[in-house]
Structure 1
Amino acid sequence: MLAVGATAPRFELPAFVDESYRQVALEEFLGEDVVVLAFIPGDFNPACDEQSCDLEELDLFTMQKDVTVLGISPDSVYSHRAFADTYDLTIPLLADTDHEVARQYDVEFVDDLGQRLVERAVVVIDHDGVVQYTWSTTDPDRRPDVEPVKDAIGETGGDDTAFACYRVGHAHYTEGRRAFTAAMESFNESEWMLAQGDFQQAREEFEAAEDQFDTAARFVDDPTVATVYEGAQTKTNALWQAAAWLAKSANQYSSGNGVAGRTLREDAERRLEAARDYRDPPDPDQWPPDVVDLRRDGDRGAAGDLLPGAESETAALDVDIDAEVEPEADAASTAGEAEPDERERTAGAAEQQPAGDEDIDDEELAAIHAEVEASNPGDDTDPADGSSGDRTADESPDRAER
């Protein structure tokens, strides 16, 4: 069995994974995840029964962030498929049919009958490809104890691993900022489709950055930079959410739905406010950083920390969207239709305006008074309610003068 501290041998094997067959290499996961290799004597081995198998407990580690479990046995990928289906396994099952990888990891042995078999073994490999934990047995009925495996996974990491993840995250963050800045320029120019595409790219980059920053924060040992990693993760989380809202906002504006566009923009502004509470993640090429906490103390700074070249904290979003957008974005809903207040004023003016260009003479005015008095005998209603005869006569100032 390999010793702890040894470099894990690289390999590539055919595998059954995600309901399909393909080649799987250890190199795919190094630098990203802690890798757990689970060697077993074979599919449907003596440690399995009708209800469970020897890989079930290890399979649960796949639910843990940044952990990959690879099952390896001498059986074919077709046998692996039946094995996975029977026990509802989700981990990739690799076919080491000639025992090549088993020999590399020193888990092949010859039993009393002269058979060349594979031990049941567990190997935990860190992000740098270094073995951090090993366990093995030649007893085909014995299952591994998962608690030591769990502890080994939890202890795997360290400052070098954390910093490597942070560097990858910062590269994604830089690309996210570039895409976000381009998107805001298009958004402020009402170029909705360009803005939407760039916001979507920014969201993807910020999401990838957040994932790496989160991993760095969980693996770091040095408390003086732990808060830097945590602040970078918090800021980037707010930015990818803002980018997602703004992509949807641009989509609504492009469809002529200005009301929905404004609502989504307001949601984005709230996330940008949260992002501005934190400084930009420090450049990994200038390490260690000159701050131990990215959270701002009172002074939230300029938006330059968020968008290069912005003149104020709200410069990125203070374009007058209502003035720029509504004439075209709301055209479909307002064309040919006046606002309610405008319709009322228009209708009122039409009622007050006499038909034709002729003035009303005294006889006609007297006839109107008489008609009103006859229909409202003894009515002392306040003119404020619009029902008195006096208000009817005085509704048109021009009429009163004439």
Structure 2
Amino acid sequence: MLSEGTAAPLFELPALVDGERQRVGLSDYLGEDVVILAFYPADFNPACDDTACDLDELDLFTMQKDVTILGISPDSVYSHRAFADRYDLKVPLLSDTDHDVAREYGLDFVDDIGQRLIERAVVVIDHDGDVQYAWSTADLQQLPRVGEIKDAIADTGGDDTAFARYRVGHAHYTEGRRAFTAAMGGFQESEWMVAQGDFQQAREEFDAAENHFDTAVRFVDDDSLKPVYEGAKTKANSLWQASDWLAQAARAYSSGDGAEGQELRDDAEGPLETARGYEEPPDPDGPWPPDLATLEKGADDDRPAFLPQDEDGADTSLGVDIDGEVERANQELAATGAAADGTPAESADDASPESTTSPDRDGDVSDVGDTDIEAIQAELAESEAETGSTGSLDEAPTAMVEATPDTVGGADDASPPDAGSSDATHASATAPDDSAELDLTDPKAADPGDTDTPAGDSGANGGTDPERDDEESDAESDRPRAGGDESDV
């Protein structure tokens, strides 16, 4: 059996780790954890019963921080799988089928009937690879002394071990700080995906640094160094938390959720403020022990900010009301004379009240009433009386009531009104030309033979009858008419 203080022999063996077959070496754990080698004679050995086995109490050490347990026996990995499943073991189980490692550690023996076995043993190895505790027995029924193992783990450490762990932690911290600084640059330039990746890397590095600084705190014997290690641990923990929040904030900004990004960024300010209250962990390659009693700073207002403080610069929210923007654009276009869909806006003349007397598509002047016609007739009578005109109406028909739809406002088919008939001129001017809006598929609009009078359809002939006009001229020479009886209106 190896004695305490000697270097533990290195080895590599097939193993069952978390249900998977792989090779495990002692060097994989040295320098990181205190390693406990638990040698036992075989799977399902005489010390096991229906409910417990000889490794149960050692298995509980897996819950202790910075401690790794490796179980070693001559059985195969396949036997180890059944053994671990039966007793729900979490420790890696290594297969020393040739007893090579057992011989290296002085635990290989042959019993009284010629069986080649290994002793039950526990070896505690510190971070430097030295044996700190060793116990063994050839009695297959005897179990390890758990109390002694706990004491050995507690004694493993010291200032050298603490410093070694601090050195490893500082290397992780430095890498985390580099990634954090790069992430801040991406954050400031709104390069959210780059910032997110760097913050995630920083978070992992600060987490590893905190774990090593914590081990240094637990192992250090020099009380003057403990505040330095504790300060480094607190700062690494704060930056880990901040990196986690900021990675989420960058992800929110990259997806366009500026409100959530700002909220997460604000959450990061708490741990960042804590981190600002501590000096940078001293370089382990500089003067040691450092000329610092503690890493805590005094209260001051000159601490550098970790993030840009421009609250407006980081808001990338897509807070646009699309419906409102469309409505606003339509209103602006309408104000300049065009609707949002490209249709010309209604002109001022078209929108005037006089346009209500324009004929509809069927040629009717639906808004002209009896009172209007009587007023027109009276004005025409006065106009002819002033000019002394007694000519028949069939020579120059100017009345609106006998004008066909295709002559209303037309220059070719209607004679010009009497120069003295200002109202006739006014009436024709108020009838806008609807030819641009005519539905050419409408039979009434396309048929030039449609002779409905603009004054309304009375059921009588809408055209000009010469005989009837002569009779009316003779019978009513004392009262000029615009054409037709009032019963035809």
Distance of 2:221 and 2:70 partners within structure 1: 27
Q: Tell me what 2:187 maps to.
A: 187
Q: Rg bigger for which structure?
A: 2
Change in CA separation of 1:46 and 1:190 when aligned onto 2, cut-off 3 Å: same
Q: Tell me if 1:87 matches 2:87.
A: yes
Say if 1:74 and 1:99, in contact at 8 Å, map to a contact too.
yes
Distance of 2:272 and 2:308 partners within structure 1: 12
Residues 1-60 of structure 1 show CA distances to partners (whole Å, capped at 9, x for unaligned) of 100001000000001111110100000000000000000010100000000000010011
Distance of 2:307 and 2:97 partners within structure 1: 60
Distance of 1:301 and 1:259 partners within structure 2: 29
Within the candidate set 288, 313, 336, 1:324 is matched to 313
Q: Tell me what 1:288 maps to.
A: 289
- Compute the TM-score of the two structures, normalised by the length of structure 1: 0.79
Q: Tell me what 1:382 maps to.
A: none
Change in CA separation of 1:102 and 1:185 when aligned onto 2, cut-off 3 Å: same
Q: Tell me what 2:8 maps to.
A: 8
Q: Tell me what 1:159 maps to.
A: 159
Q: Tell me what 1:115 maps to.
A: 115
Q: Secondary structure at the match of 1:202?
A: helix
Distance of 2:300 and 2:322 partners within structure 1: 46
Q: Tell me what 2:268 maps to.
A: 268
Distance of 1:116 and 1:300 partners within structure 2: 73
Stretches of structure 1 lacking an aligned partner (at least 5 in a row): 304-313, 343-355, 358-402
Say if 2:176 and 2:201, in contact at 8 Å, map to a contact too.
yes
Q: Secondary structure at the match of 2:136?
A: strand
Q: Tell me if 1:97 matches 2:97.
A: yes
Q: Tell me what 2:388 maps to.
A: none
Q: Tell me what 2:379 maps to.
A: none
Say if 1:122 and 1:134, in contact at 8 Å, map to a contact too.
yes
Distance of 2:201 and 2:322 partners within structure 1: 35
Q: Secondary structure at the match of 1:331?
A: coil
Q: Secondary structure at the match of 2:218?
A: helix
Q: How many residues align structurally?
A: 327
Stretches of structure 2 lacking an aligned partner (at least 5 in a row): 329-346, 349-489
Change in CA separation of 1:300 and 1:125 when aligned onto 2, cut-off 3 Å: farther
Identity fraction in percent: 65
Distance of 2:154 and 2:194 partners within structure 1: 44
Distance of 1:131 and 1:48 partners within structure 2: 28
Q: Secondary structure at the match of 2:36?
A: strand
Residues 89-132 of structure 1 show CA distances to partners (whole Å, capped at 9, x for unaligned) of 00000000011000000011221112221110000000000000
Say if 2:257 and 2:318, in contact at 8 Å, map to a contact too.
no
Q: Please state how far the C-alpha of 1:203 moved relative to its aligned partner.
A: 0.7
RMSD over aligned Cα atoms: 1.7
Q: Tell me what 1:59 maps to.
A: 59
Change in CA separation of 1:4 and 1:242 when aligned onto 2, cut-off 3 Å: same
Q: Please state how far the C-alpha of 1:301 moved relative to its aligned partner.
A: 5.2
Q: Secondary structure at the match of 1:70?
A: strand
- Compute the TM-score of the two structures, normalised by the length of structure 2: 0.65
Higher helix share: 1
Q: Tell me what 1:28 maps to.
A: 28
Say if 1:166 and 1:213, in contact at 8 Å, map to a contact too.
yes
Q: Tell me what 2:150 maps to.
A: 150
Q: Please state how far the C-alpha of 1:186 moved relative to its aligned partner.
A: 1.1
Change in CA separation of 1:330 and 1:52 when aligned onto 2, cut-off 3 Å: same
Q: Please state how far the C-alpha of 1:335 moved relative to its aligned partner.
A: 4.2
Please list, as runs of the form range in 1=range in 2, the aligned pairs for 1:194-213 lying within 5 A after superposition: 194-213=194-213
Higher relative contact order (CA 8 A, sep 6+): 1
Q: Moved runs in structure 1, 4+ residues, more than 6 A? A: none
Q: Tell me what 2:416 maps to.
A: none
